[in-house]
Amino acid sequence: MKGEKQEIHHTKPIRCIVKLGGAAITCKNELEKINEENLDIVSSQLRQAMMPGWSSSMKVLGMDWSKRHGESEVSGSFGHFQASKSGVHKGGLDQSLVKAGFVATRISVTTLNLEVVRALAREGIPSIGMSPFSCGWSTKEKNIASADLAVVDKAIDSGFIPVLHGDAVLDKLQGCSILSGDVIIRHLAAHLKPEYVVFLTDVFGVYDRPPTEPNAVLLREIAVGKDGKWSVVKPELQNMDKQVQTTVAAHDTTGGMETKIAEAAMIARLGIDVYIVKAGCRQPQTTH
């Protein structure tokens, strides 16, 4: 998605913000199962993008020095099952099931965050895991009410790569809610003003209908104006009035591709180009 450029000022320019979608690095239909191949490929690609002078003959200084006892037995859709089962996204901390689900959800999403940080660290990327709940993020009617970005700024200024994640947070009206990673990315983009934002997912980009349906068309370029209205630039569709159709998994409490498209459009309105691409591809097709 391409936005109209606006003049922005930085003390320290940020080149890119990357969103690692759960569908890209986990097996969404299985409980807590990491797609280790995709995660390793993405981590390697991010290291290469961050270190342009690196060559295959150079040694990578791994930063995961923890002891690992074989492969994890629980390794997928982290947080979504727990949140869906307990109704955390609907609020109600006075209910024991919701409170238990809040804790279970946070255990799950922080576990995934740790595995992502470890994968990046093994590639020599100085990544630091940060939980929105612990950093003081909260919502009001599911919209961000507060977000302390001072820790993020300090980490970047110190040469670290902050790795945030979707989280269970407190909500000022309904007690608690689920803060989507896509919403977090949009908030970070508005604050950090990167050159572009990349959403890594399990499909090649945005389609005019669910990509599993016959004759689904990949929308290669979408233009978003300052008024929020967007139009398909490439390819030219026969029916330009047709709305993009999306589907959401039953256990997905954050809106799936529909939320991703909406948040990407809001980022594009800031004048920041957005790319939605498939994770793990050596030469990915893109939608922007």
Q: Is 181 annotated as a binding residue?
A: yes
- Answer yes or no: are the C-beta atoms of 248 and 262 closer than 8 Å: no
Q: Is 142 annotated as a binding residue?
A: no
Sheet of 196-201, strands arranged across? 16-20, 196-201, 273-278, 286-287
Give yes or no for a cis peptide into 235 (omega within 30° of 0).
Answer: yes
Q: Is 44 annotated as a binding residue?
A: no
Q: Is 2 annotated as a binding residue?
A: no
Residue with tokens 């939320």: 259
Q: Is 66 annotated as a binding residue?
A: no
Structure tokens at 141: 């009617």
Structure tokens at 234: 């490439």
Q: What one-letter code names the amino acid at 32?
A: E
Q: Is 256 annotated as a binding residue?
A: yes
**DSSP string of the chain, one letter each residue:** -EE-------SS---EEEEE-HHHHB-TTSTT-B-HHHHHHHHHHHHHHH-TT--TTSPP-----S---SS-S----TTHHHHHHHTGGG--TTSHHHHHHHHHHHHHHHHHHHHHHHHHHHTT--EEE--TTTTT-EEETTEEEE---HHHHHHHHTT-EEE---EEEEETTTEEEEE-HHHHHHHHHHHH--SEEEEEESSSS-BSS-TTSTT--B--EEEE-TTS-EEEEESPPS-TTPPPP----TT-SS-HHHHHHHHHHHHHTTT-EEEEEETT-SS--EE-
Q: Is 260 annotated as a binding residue?
A: yes
**Residues of the binding site:** 75-76, 80, 181, 202, 256, 260
**Residues of the binding site for substrate:** 75, 80, 181
**Residues of the binding site for ATP:** 76, 202, 256, 260
